[in-house]
């Protein structure tokens, strides 16, 4: 119960423009939810707002996770509670190796009571390397990946795999995947999809934010929600994804009287 993510009547704006206009959703550990919506419906704003990006203004509502109102917390404190966001466009950090960064991140998230700044609070190098190598193999990424600068010069597919690798290493309770399938070819979508579905289990709840249903072929969600103009307009099961695949968003727009975004 305590590990569920509860979003209640959330309102988010960006530069004074309301984007999310009263959204409620609950994700339990072990559940996979898909939030589907056309461009401009507010999908990425929800993801960034939930993780605490300073540009996304929370106007109203609450987000309770692990019994705590996470909207009061810094992004790193949300991560330590067990929230994870796989970014649509992961930021490059030149000069910082993936392994170096990830050791700090893993140490910070696992050593919850400390700030993780001190050397002795770092997870032992051998232990970390063994774990990293294991997870990289599962994801089918080369060993050299760990030495490369974080997202710097990565191809689209590499960036997404690096995000899933981080998800696997950080072992969150709730993972939000923001358009993780965008920009990937069909093989890459399969690899990423299979990797994520391997991670799904009783201790992980997943919220997949996506435009297209194709990633969902690999990670079958139990719940599908359709986001239009900042609100969830329909919730249901797999049949909703099938309907979208067949008919697109237009019938739903018509039904709810929402115009297509320019």
Partner 1 sequence: MADSYYKDKTKLQKGHFSKEFLQKIAATEPQWMHEKRLEAYALYESLPMPHTTEDDIWRRTVDMRTQDYWRRTRRFLRALDVEKYRPSLPTNGEPSAVDVPETGLPGLPYAEEASGVLVQVDGQRQHISNSEELKKKGVYFADLHTALQEQPELLRDYFMNKAVTLETTLKSGNIAQHNKFDALHGAFWQGGYLLYVPKGVSVELPLRVYINMSEADQADLSHTLIIAEEGSRVAVLEENASTTSDASGLHSGAVEIFAGQNANVTYVQVQRWNRTVWNFASHRAKIARDAQLCWVSAAFGGRLNKMNQASILEGAGSHAQMLGLAFTDARQHLDVSTAQEHISPHTTSDLMYRTVLKDRSQTAWGGNIYVYPAANHTDAYQKNDNLLLSERAHADTLPGLEIQAHEVRCTHGATAGKIDADQVFYLMSRGLSYTQAEKLIVEGFFEPVIERVPLESVREELSTSITRKLG
Contacting residues for 81 by C-beta, under 8 A, at least 6 apart: 65, 66, 68, 70, 73, 173
Residue 201 CA to residue 126 CA, distance in Å, equals 27
71 lies in the binding site for partner 1 (CB under 8 A): no
Site for partner 1 in 29-68 (CB under 8 A): 51-55
| Distance of alpha carbon 244 from alpha carbon 250, whole angstroms | 9
Nearest-approach distance from CB 95 to partner 1, in angstroms = 3
Closest CB to partner 1 among 59 and 152? 152
Least distance (Å) between residue 136 CB and partner 1: 17
Cα–Cα distance between 238 and 75 in angstroms, integer? 32
Nearer to partner 1, 30 or 75 (CB): 75
Tell which positions 231-260 bind partner 1, by CB under 8 A.
none
- Residues of this chain, 167-196, that bind partner 1 according to CB under 8 A: 170
* CB closer to partner 1 out of 121 and 190: 121
Least spacing, CB of residue 225 vs partner 1, in Å: 23
Residue 134 in the binding site for partner 1 (CB under 8 A): no
Query: Does residue 75 belong to the site contacting partner 1 (CB under 8 A)?
Result: yes
Residue owning tokens 């390397």: 129
Position 223 contacts partner 1 (CB under 8 A): no
Residue 11 near residue 58, CB atoms below 8 Å: yes
Q: How many helices (H) and strands (E) does the chain have?
A: 8, 10
Q: Could you say which of 33, 80, 160, 161 contacts partner 1 (CB under 8 A)?
A: 80
* Residue 166 binds to partner 1 (criterion: CB under 8 A): yes
Asked if 95 touches partner 1 (CB under 8 A), the answer is yes
Stretch that binds partner 1, among 15-23, 57-65, 105-113, 193-201 (CB under 8 A): 105-113
Provide the b/e sequence for 228-248 (b: ≥16 CB within 10 Å): bbbbbbbeeeeebbebbeeee
CA 208, 218, 211, 226 dihedral sign is negative
Q: Could you tell me the CA-to-CA distances from 158 to 15, 22, 83, 168, 184 in Å, in that order? A: 32, 35, 22, 15, 10
Q: How far is the CB of 167 from partner 1 (least distance, A)?
A: 10
Q: Nearest 5°: CA angle at 248, between 246 and 249?
A: 145
Residue 190 dihedral angles phi and psi, to the nearest 5°: -65, -45
Q: Which of 37, 116, 213, 230 binds partner 1 (CB under 8 A)?
A: 116
Binding site for partner 1 (CB under 8 A): 51-55, 74-76, 78-80, 84-85, 87, 90-91, 93-96, 100-101, 104-106, 108-109, 115-117, 149, 166, 170
């Amino acid at each position: 119960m305590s590990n569920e993510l509860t979003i209640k009547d959330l309102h988010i704006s960006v530069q004074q423009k309301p984007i999310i206009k009263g959204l409620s959703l609950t994700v339990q550990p072990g559940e996979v939810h898909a939030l589907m919506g056309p461009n401009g419906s507010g999908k990425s704003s929800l993801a960034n707002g939930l993780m605490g990006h300073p540009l996304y203004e929370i106007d109203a509502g609450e987000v309770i996770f692990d019994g705590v109102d996470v909207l009061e917390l810094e992004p790193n404190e949300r991560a330590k509670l067990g929230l994870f966001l796989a970014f649509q466009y992961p930021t490059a950090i030149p000069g910082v190796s993936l392994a170096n960064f990830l050791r700090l991140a893993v140490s910070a998230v696992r050593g919850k009571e400390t700030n993780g700044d001190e050397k002795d609070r770092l997870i032992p190098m051998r232990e970390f390397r063994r774990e990293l190598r294991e997870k990289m193999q599962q994801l089918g990424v080369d060993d050299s990946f760990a030495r490369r600068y974080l997202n710097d010069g990565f191809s689209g597919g590499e960036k997404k795999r690096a995000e899933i690798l981080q998800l696997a290493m950080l072992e969150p309770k709730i993972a939000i995947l923001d358009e993780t399938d965008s920009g990937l070819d069909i093989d890459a979508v399969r690899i990423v999809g299979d990797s994520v579905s391997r991670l799904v289990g009783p201790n992980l709840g997943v919220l997949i934010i996506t435009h297209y249903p194709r990633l969902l072929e690999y990670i079958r969600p139990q719940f599908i929600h359709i986001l239009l103009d900042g609100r969830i307009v329909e919730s249901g099961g797999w049949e909703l994804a099938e309907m979208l695949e067949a008919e697109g968003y237009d019938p739903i727009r018509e039904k709810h009287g929402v115009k297509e975004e320019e």
